[in-house]
Amino acid sequence: MARRQRSPPALLMPLSSLAIAIILSILRPAAATASAKQSWLDEFTTDGEVRSDFDRSGKQVASLVLDESSGAGFNSTQKYLFGEFTVEMKLVPGNSAGTVTSFYLTSGEGDDHDEIDMEFMGNSTNAPTVLNTNVWASGDGKKEHQFYLWFDPSADFHKYAIIWNPTNIIFRVDDVTVRVFRRYDDLPYPTSRPMAVHATLWDGSYWATEKGKVPIDWSAGPFVVSYRGYTANACVAAADGGGGSTCPAGKNEWMQREEDDTDRLTVAWARRNCLQYNYCEDGWRFPGGFPGECSRE
């Protein structure tokens, strides 16, 4: 007797169709989000090898690559006069000694330029990473505070922020204020030169790790650092350079942002536990006397 061909159980076909429908419903929004969402990297020009992709959450990730032939970076097409600038970064893993990763603002390369820096100096495997913060005003710099980060910045993304207004500059790590640079009317402060946003990864062997004692080990390369979640809530400077800026209505709380009690507590904590260099304590560097703001902090 011929064997009857059994049909699939009636329940299997609806379940299979349902599973496909569920998978498609998950994939469609993710794909639509990635394609429809404006790329923040479109606001920048790039140098060197810059890779762009989207992570599982739909955030665009821009990765800079450093090898023996070239570093990499991206630079904003707009300039700003005051604002809050944030980005999430995942730094070079393993032996990153000699590398320098940055997120900073600058008005240009002239002798009288303004600049606000967050620079991450690579280090040997398992050694802490140093965050170098600095401010330049009218070409006057040498105002570094350097901190050991209290976490592994290569294991995951962490948020870094620069708040810049006419009163002070606030440096933040994962929403923790680590430094406040105040304005004093009789001392240089960046108030009038619009600045562009830059991010770079480069060979800083001559300076970065233990004052240049530990160079890059190119056998560990290429080195990669990733950025995501960039925002610039800021006043956009006039494109013609004729002065003036357009500020975001209703979204400029940062313009009045000053050091509050919580900031004072976290700055004190960072000084006690993480600060490893303070220019206001480097008498060898300033034999003629410390900069004016040092006696007022």
Identity of residue 162? I
Distance, in Å, from the CA atom of 81 to the CA atom of 237, rounded to the nearest integer, reads 6
Residue extents of the structural domains in the chain? 43-281
Active site residue 297: no
Could you read off the pLDDT of 103-159 as tens digits, one per residue? 999 999 889 999 999 999 999 888 999 999 999 999 999 999 999 999 999 999 999
What ranges in the chain are assigned the alpha helix state H? 12-36, 261-273
- Fold for domain 43-281? Jelly Rolls (2.60.120)
Of 107, 127, 121, 92, nearest to 227 by C-alpha is: 92
Catalytic member of 43, 119, 210, 297:
119
Q: Which of 84, 88, 115, 293 is catalytic?
A: 115
Active site residue 210: no
Predicted TM-score (pTM) of the model is: 0.86
Q: In angstroms, rounded to a whole number, what is the distance separating the alpha carbons of residues 279 and 294?
A: 9
Tokens (6 digits) for 18: 């349902």
Digit-coded pLDDT (tens) for 250-295: 778 999 999 999 999 999 999 999 999 999 999 999 999 999 999 9
User: In sequence order, what E strands does the chain have?
Assistant: 44-47, 49-54, 60-66, 72-90, 99-106, 115-121, 130-136, 145-148, 158-164, 168-173, 176-182, 195-203, 223-237, 245-246, 275-278
Tally of residues, the chain:
297
